[in-house]
Structure 1
Amino acid sequence: MSLPEKAFPVSWDQFHRDARALAWRLAGLEQTFTAIVCVTRGGLVPSAIISRELEIRLIETVCIASYHDYTDQGETLLLKGISEELKKNGGEGVVIIDDLTDTGNTAREVREMLPKAHFACLYAKPQGVPMVDTFVTEVSQDTWIYFPWDMGFTYQAPIKKAPSDK
């Protein structure tokens, strides 16, 4: 699969504003959240911001890989599950945070683990929208979101993949 033609670059400032906007939306719900389940890796940064804004100290991770080599979304692979404590009562009182829902495959997998949790993300594509409860910005399915950790002045390959100076 080649990268889509449409690009949506997100700066650190914009990402922070969007994460705070998501926190505002969650704070306005008639629901009290006692824990965050962060979908790694994309949900790490927004979870930190949202946990501060909503004063939630309990943060758990669920590690699911779906993008491979930053270009192809493939089969989801569960690398780390959710603690049994948070799965009690179907995840009631838990908010799941991710940066993006694309096809909805990752969200579907996490929802199966926590069917009563509230799923929230910053950005959503049409195929993923039915799988989330709250999001900030919708982009078209053929848009590639460039997150701030992927960019310098141009795209930056992960350090592990960059040629070494040795």
Structure 2
Amino acid sequence: MLTEDGKHLYVSYDEYHGAIEKLALKIYQSGWEFDTILCLARGGLRPGDILSRIFGKPLAIMSTSSYRAEAGTVQGHLDIARFITTPKGEIAGRVLLVDDLADSGNTLNAVISLLKNSYPPITELRSAVLWVKAISAFSPNYSVEFLSTNPWIHQPFENYDQMSPKKLLEKWTV
């Protein structure tokens, strides 16, 4: 649900999973066939996992990180993992790159540049995200929602960002 000021988008688990399903339908209806899903961790892990299950395709993972300051609310230096984890040796063929959102677009632009320059076995690369902000310098091949007010997206699992084992113990100790 978007707040009145347009600065925050609060997403429930049902809305989040619904967005992933809508993304799957857009990819399916495009008729494009792909060999592997490459998700960007952490944001693309959940959508990538669900898409992997729906399409019956292997899931590869590339770790990236740029939101670390102030509990993950301030974008900083972009780190991209040197290796891709994949169950089928080296990533190759037609690859669907999945993340949760195109915010500034910096991460997706950098990853696509790296993949095109460093992974020649990839013959075709397309991208899919749930949300695209108006400020994004990146336009994915597939997306579910365009956010014209560039809100901060509050995803349903973010409560775990403030959770610690000690807090969990307090919650579950009777």
Q: TM-score, normalised by structure 2?
A: 0.77
Root mean square deviation, CA, Å: 2.7
Deviation, structure 1 residue 66: 1.0
Q: TM-score, normalised by structure 1?
A: 0.81
Equivalent residues of 2:96, 2:126 under 8 A apart = yes
1: distance between equivalents of 2:35 and 2:66? 27
Matched residue, 1:144: 152
Deviates more, 1:136-145 or 1:17-26: 136-145
Deviation, structure 1 residue 77: 0.8
Matched residue, 1:61: 61
Q: Does residue 136 of structure 2 align to residue 135 of structure 1?
A: no
Where do residues 4-153 of structure 1 align in structure 2 (5 Å cutoff)? 6-56=7-57, 58-68=58-68, 69-82=71-84, 85-86=90-91, 88=92, 92-115=93-116, 116-128=124-136, 130-140=138-148, 142-151=150-159
Deviation, structure 1 residue 40: 0.4
Deviation, structure 1 residue 129: 5.9
Equivalent residues of 1:96, 1:118 under 8 A apart = yes
2: distance between equivalents of 1:6 and 1:127? 13
1:52 maps to amino acid: R
Structure 2, gaps ≥5 residues long: 117-123
Deviation, structure 1 residue 127: 2.8
What does the per-residue CA deviation read over 1:10-40, in whole Å, with 9 as the maximum and x for residues that have no partner?
1111111100100001111232111010100
2: distance between equivalents of 1:110 and 1:75? 14
2: distance between equivalents of 1:141 and 1:102? 12
Bigger radius of gyration, 1 or 2?
2
Aligned length: 154
1: distance between equivalents of 2:144 and 2:81? 27
Identical pairs, percent: 29
